[in-house]
Structures are given as C-alpha cells and as structure tokens.
C-alpha cells in the first residue's frame, strides 16, 4: 500500500481536526455520515465558534459522547479563532492545547495535514505492532516511542496508516485473516494460537 490515506473524509485542516475529534470511540464510517451536513452548516472555525450547543449537538448526536464532543468542538473553534487567528496550529504541542485534542488526535492531524513524522497509536496500531512483534509495549505511548525508532522519518505518516489499515481489514482483533496476510512471514504471532 504505497500511499495509504485516512478514511475520514475531509477537504482541509479544519474538516480534518473536526472529523478526528468526532472519531474518538466512533467509527470512521459513522463520522463520514455526520460530517457532510455538519460542514455544510459550519464551514470553518469562525462559523463553528459562533455555534450554539444545541445546533452542534443536533448534528453530531449519533456519534459517541456527543455532549462532550459538542462542548469541545465549539471551544476548539473559539480557541483557534481567538488564540491562533483562525489558523489551525501545526505542532503537536500546540494542537494538544486545543479542547478535545489529545496526543493521538494531535498526532493524526500533524501527520495527515502537515506531513509531520508523528505516529498516532490507536487500538489497531497498538494491537498490530505488538502482535507482529515489531514492538513490545504495554501502552500506546510506549508503542509510539518504539515505532518512531523503527521507521525512517519520511515514512512515519504513512506507517501509521499502514498499521492502522492492516489492523482494521486484515489483522483484526478477534479473527485475524492470517491466510490472506501479505506479511505473515515476519509476524511473531503467525501460526500461534
């Protein structure tokens, strides 16, 4: 998979950060259903910063934790407008200062929007990296640190998606498709049950 991409539909940095915030404990498929009408109503940080709780909640209520995400999205937009002149910050440290943006979200946005060498570790990446045996980590932060040492900087944004998509479609949690896996020869778990 030479050029893997996020499955979150977005056209710009604003749409990406909103979609990634919405994707926490929610499927990309659900987020991609929610975001078209959301972006039609709130097309940028400025319009979202002026939104009411009720307006945002009504559009995102089918995702997980809609009340918290509503509060965070409005505060995020207000922060970007008030503290960053309406421009999404590019560094992970600055992104993490935004409401609703933790390390994983900041890493995704930095890697996808700004091609920064950041490794976002979600449940798929954590599982696959440990299952393959390329890391031996007990938590996402350990996994991230070990993965950053393994990959050349220029491929890190892609490597995150390689592992994520492999975990989502091949190396699934309950029933990994080992017979269809193209990298089973390097997998420490292959053949072990």
179 annotated active-site: no
Residue 161: is it exposed, middle or buried by C-beta count within 10 angstroms (0-12/13-18/19+)?
Answer: buried
Which listed residue (41, 71, 85, 104) is catalytic?
104
The answer to whether the beta carbons of residues 143 and 126 sit under 8 Å apart is yes
Give the chain's radius of gyration (CA, Å): 18
Residue 48's Cα: distance from chain center in Å?
20
Residue pointed to by tokens 């190396």: 171
Element (H, E) at 71: helix 66-83
Which listed residue (41, 69, 71, 122) is catalytic?
122
The answer to whether the beta carbons of residues 79 and 87 sit under 8 Å apart is no
122 annotated active-site: yes
The sign one gets for the Cα dihedral 51, 53, 59, 60 is positive
The distance between the two most distant Cα atoms of the chain, rounded to a whole number of Å, is 55
The span from the CA of 100 to the CA of 94, in Å, is: 13
Residues recognised as catalytic: 104, 122
């Amino acid at each position: 998979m030479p050029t893997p991409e996020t499955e979150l539909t977005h056209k710009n940095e604003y749409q990406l950060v909103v979609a990634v915030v919405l994707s926490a404990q929610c499927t990309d498929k659900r987020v991609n259903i929610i975001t078209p009408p959301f972006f039609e109503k709130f097309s940028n940080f400025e319009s979202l910063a002026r939104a009411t709780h009720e307006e945002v909640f009504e559009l995102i209520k089918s995702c997980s934790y809609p009340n918290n995400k509503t509060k965070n999205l409005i505060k995020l937009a207000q922060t970007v407008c008030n503290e960053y002149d309406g421009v999404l910050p590019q560094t992970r440290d600055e992104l993490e200062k935004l409401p609703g943006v933790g390390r994983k979200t900041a890493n995704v946005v930095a890697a996808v929007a700004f091609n920064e060498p950041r490794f976002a570790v979600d449940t798929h990446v954590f599982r696959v990296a440990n299952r393959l045996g390329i890391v031996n980590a007990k938590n996402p932060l350990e996994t991230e640190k070990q993965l950053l040492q393994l990959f050349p900087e220029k491929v890190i944004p892609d490597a995150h998606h390689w592992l994520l998509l492999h975990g989502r479609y091949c190396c699934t949690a309950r029933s990994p498709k080992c017979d269809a896996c193209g990298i089973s020869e390097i997998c420490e778990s292959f053949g072990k049950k």
